[in-house]
Amino acid sequence: MRIITLSLFFPLAIVSFAQHDTTYYKEYNDKLIISLYNSFARQNDIAFSQNIVKDTAGKSPFHYYADADIVSGIEFDYDIFGIAFAYKAVPPKNAFKKGKTYYTDLGLNAGGNKWRLETSYKRYEGFYDTNTPNYTPFYSDSAPYYQNPHMTTQSMKAKLIYIKKHNKFSYCSAYACSQQQTKSSFSWIFVSNLYYNRMSTDTSFVPFPIRNFYAGYSDFNGLNVIGLSVGGGFSVNVVLFHKFFGNLTWAVEPESQWRKYSYGSGSVSYRAYLKTSGDARFSFGYNGKKFFFFLSAIADHSNYNSGQIMVTNNFMSGSTTIGYRFRAKKPSFYKKFENTKVYQWL
């Protein structure tokens, strides 16, 4: 299923390198890159609150977290194409307090200096509520959080980025290291997202002790969202001593959402909303002739608020990446591909 979904967006990614100013960035001759990444902070958090019943004591909000802090993965890149996947996740040491989280991550990326397509599949299973002390009498730090082990989130997303100043700015140099930015540069960017996000659980998202606050939403156990957004922002590369770099990328996008709400009773409802989503990224590292490493952080925010129920979905990740560029003979079929109009477009 995940391969089929990603392939729907793959034709959009067949883009290539436009002419650029070589005094600002350069391409590496060695196109095959293998890199390893290790996430030191990675979590999906979903916050719920309500406007149905007055709650002066602040007992009704709940905030689910899914922790997969230590995740190891590998990425393979060749020229304008790349694939990455996580192969190991270490559960938190305090599993008694937070429960266990099962995590799957797959990414497929493609693009040159003007366009970049990033597609991903993420799945989390097993959440805990950090607001447990607010509604649990005599709660102590040694007690476990309220846990929802059957709660699952699945996300399939395609992000298309257009770099306006592509002749002097290399986005790939900061997150794939397939190029090297040699002079600091700034560019406005345009961003479009298309995604499907599914949240579900067996009985209800709402912890049992506070279901009386949620009235008709007390058995709320499913939310499917199709989102489409178009917006913009900026990306800036700062270069130090030719090989050290830092990047900051930020964008905001108005978003159309089509939602399906599901309930334990079997009833469903359909709604459409116009909301705002956002992306923020940061990286800092070293990009040498063969070897590179960098530290990066990514944050994605989605707003699923309605009149009575407020839901925000956030994904945050911090990771270290180390990689090496290998000399590899270019396949004959790829040489033919490079000579096509598609590859040379823009």
Please name which of 229, 252, 113 lies closest in space to residue 181, comparing C-alpha atoms: 113
Q: Using one digit for the tens of pLDDT, what is the confidence trace for 245-258?
A: 999 999 999 999 99
pLDDT value of position 113: 83
pLDDT value of position 345: 63
Tokens of 294: 């960098």
Please name which of 248, 310, 302 lies closest in space to residue 52, comparing C-alpha atoms: 310
pLDDT value of position 41: 64
Domains and CATH numbers, the chain: 2-344 (2.40.128)
Distance (Å, rounded) from C-alpha 135 to C-alpha 189? Answer: 44
SS (H, E, C) 115-171: EEEEEEEEEEEEEEECCHHHHCCCCCCCCCCEEEEEEEEEEEEEEEEEECCCCCCCC
pLDDT value of position 10: 37
Please name which of 84, 69, 1 lies closest in space to residue 35, comparing C-alpha atoms: 84
pLDDT value of position 22: 82
Tokens of 263: 């309930």
Residue 339 identity: N
% of the chain with per-residue pLDDT over 90: 63
Please name which of 35, 30, 28 lies closest in space to residue 321, comparing C-alpha atoms: 35
pLDDT value of position 16: 39
Q: Is 191 helix (H, G, I), strand (E, B) or coil?
A: strand
Pairing verdict, β 179-181 and 25-27: antiparallel
Low-confidence ranges of the chain (pLDDT < 50): 1-18, 346
Please name which of 9, 277, 44, 258 lies closest in space to residue 157, comparing C-alpha atoms: 9
Lookup result for tokens 């009149």: 307
Distance of CA 246 to the CA centre of its chain: 20
Tokens of 316: 């945050």
Residues present in the chain in total: 346
